[in-house]
Structure 1
């Protein structure tokens, strides 16, 4: 008989609380699925200033905090999806990823969107493999 995969909800005060009916992340087996992170300051819950570089940095800091709460790090990411309200900001995402990550880089997708929650200019989610 096949045993069902159990899952664990990941929650940390080091990243913004969910702003809807979802969890910061869910761990199922050795996989961790991190919900989309927008550039909210975890302490205040407010969007960081409008500067795109500051917003990208905050998004990746939030992803990193959730990854660590799950027992991993950004080095365990196998896939990112990046959402941008201005796809021309993608080179700035590349620059930050080169600074924060080491080769071999994970897979990723970039999606241009019309709008993001709370007026954010960037959002990202991630899948980690811990095993």
Structure 2
């Protein structure tokens, strides 16, 4: 049976989806963009700040679901400009232990919701 888990600290959904869905020992977390729910503003002060906000949004959801970044087994990163990869990777990597970092892919896309520069989704396992 699936369990829906939303976080009041993460940006409210702008469509027919939830922040995360738990099924058994797995947690599927919807893609997060650099929106700061506390200030109700989109972070646009640079790709590193944007990535940090995305990772914090993921952290809010993981925490509310009883998970940590250590339990993330898969990540998907969507970026608008592959030239920002190293800057995104620097911030993204600071949330993981290199020896236990998840599998992932990074894809350049033409456009993301609200015209942001980065969106990340994860899957975690207990």
Report the TM-score when normalising by structure 1. Answer: 0.91
Listed as ranges, the gaps of 5+ residues in structure 1 are 1-5
Runs (4 or more) in structure 1 with deviation over 3 Å come to none
2: distance between equivalents of 1:113 and 1:78? 23
Counterpart for residue 56 of structure 1? 51
Listed as ranges, the gaps of 5+ residues in structure 2 are none
Task: Answer yes or no: is 1:37 the counterpart of 2:41.
Answer: no
Which one has a bigger Cα radius of gyration?
Answer: 1
Task: Answer yes or no: is 1:107 the counterpart of 2:103.
Answer: yes
- For residues 14-61 of structure 1, the C-alpha deviation after alignment (integer angstroms, 9 at most, x for no partner) is 111111110000000000000000000012332112411100000000
1: distance between equivalents of 2:119 and 2:82? 12
Task: Answer yes or no: is 1:12 the counterpart of 2:7.
Answer: yes
2: distance between equivalents of 1:89 and 1:13? 30
Q: 2:20 aligns with which of 16, 25, 38?
A: 25
Let me know the Cα RMSD of the aligned residues: 1.0
1: distance between equivalents of 2:81 and 2:9? 28
Counterpart for residue 124 of structure 1? 120
Q: Report SS of the residue matched to 2:94.
A: helix
